[in-house]
Amino acid sequence: MHDDARDELQDLLDTPPVPTRRPTVAGMEDELYRVHPLLDHGFLRVVDYMGDDAAIVQAARVSYGKGTKNVRNDRGLIRYLMRHRHSTPFEMCEIKLHVKLPIFIARQWIRHRTANVNEYSARYSILDKEFYIPAVEDIAQQSDSNRQGRDEALSNDQALAVQELLRRDANTSYDTYSHLINDTGDGSPERDGEPQLARELARMNLTLNYYTQWYWKTDLHNLFHFLSLRQHPHAQKEIRVYADVMAKLVEQWCPIAYEAFVDYRTGGTFFSREEVEIIQAMARGEDPDVLLPKSDMSFRERKAFRHQLKLGPPKKNS
């Protein structure tokens, strides 16, 4: 599939450019159809995009043209919109991606129900024999504190054994799949007198580490939400690698909006009403080790609050 994507990119590069009146971004024009290999068989590439930082400003001002010609004013407005969660102007920018990813990551990804998705159909087509095997350093034991995460890496020998088990199961399931679809490659319905099973049934036994593909189109507001969750250190590594590439694309596409997103979302933090009151009291000189035990916050909330403000361990049971 990588070769097909590269051939498609070369065809586009060989095609003479077509004049357009729509706003374009030089970095994104260079990114169109460029393949970013991910994991062992996956990739991500930009198929199309619409809008830029100026489109956000234009929508916010409900005006024609590029809004103001002062970039500083545009930056101030975009930061104001991000700071006060005025999301609609960011929805004026859209991007369409072609993504190849393991099925178990696709099932996480599709939880973001704010995109238009069209996935490769295993009812219609035959899946390739491509499955994901994590690297040795990424094979880890279950975390005790985070039920949906991993902890320390297994030993090298243990990790190699896990790789072998995963590879064996994936190969076995594909052998069964191939037998059930009984594909001759020449369109014949039978081989050795055995009928073909419907592809929609034959696919059932394939393991979740097999690869699927889709076209995924979303707007910038919802893409920011995706990145805020999927770039988080607690997100699964296999989806973070996709999110990291997407973030770099957004930085090229809408650099002012991306800067505001980093400053106010991924680089910022949020506080509850009670936490704000404690911060205000701390600003007046009161001791957090006295304030926190008196609050209605749970132990976990207090721990997270101290971590956010880098207060260090409590002097008391706070």
Q: What is the pLDDT of residue 73?
A: 87
Distance CA 224, CA 249 (A): 12
Q: What is the residue extent of each domain of the chain?
A: 2-126+210-266, 136-205, 273-309
Higher-confidence position of 51 and 66: 51
Per-residue pLDDT tens for 292-310?
Answer: 999 999 999 999 999 999 9
Mean pLDDT on 264-270:
92
Distance CA 32, CA 42 (A): 17
| Residue 183, number of CB atoms within 10 A of its CB | 16
Which residue stretches of the chain are H helix?
2-14, 26-31, 53-61, 71-83, 103-109, 156-181, 199-202, 220-230, 237-253, 255-261, 273-283, 288-294, 299-309
- Tokens 């407005």 belong to 77
Which residue stretches of 148-195 are H helix?
156-181
Q: What is the pLDDT of residue 64?
A: 47
Q: What is the mean pLDDT of the chain?
A: 89
Per-residue pLDDT tens for 195-245?
Answer: 789 999 999 999 999 999 999 999 999 999 999 999 999 999 999 999 999
Per-residue pLDDT tens for 54-110?
Answer: 999 999 988 545 545 566 689 999 999 999 999 999 999 999 999 999 999 999 999
- At residue 51, the 3 state secondary structure works out as coil
Q: Which residues pair with 119 in a beta bridge?
A: 214
Instruction: For domain 2-126+210-266, give the fold.
Output: Gyrase A; domain 2 (3.30.1360)
- Tokens 């990804």 belong to 109
Encoded tokens for 53: 């930082």
What is the band of 18 on the pLDDT scale with cuts at 50, 70, 90?
confident
> Are 45 and 98 contacting, i.e. CB atoms less than 8 angstroms apart?
yes
Q: What is the pLDDT of residue 190?
A: 58
Q: Which residues pair with 140 in a beta bridge?
A: 153
Per the annotation, the verdict on 230 as an active-site residue is: yes
For residue 1, is pLDDT > 60? no
Per-residue pLDDT tens for 161-184?
Answer: 999 999 999 999 999 999 999 865
Q: What is the pTM of this model?
A: 0.87
- Pick the catalytic residue from 45, 199, 203, 230: 230
Q: Which residues pair with 102 in a beta bridge?
A: 211
What is the DSSP code (8-state) at residue 138?
G
Query: Which H or E run includes 44?
Result: strand 42-50
Distance CA 67, CA 74 (A): 8
> Are 175 and 210 contacting, i.e. CB atoms less than 8 angstroms apart?
no
Encoded tokens for 115: 């995109």
Distance CA 185, CA 31 (A): 35
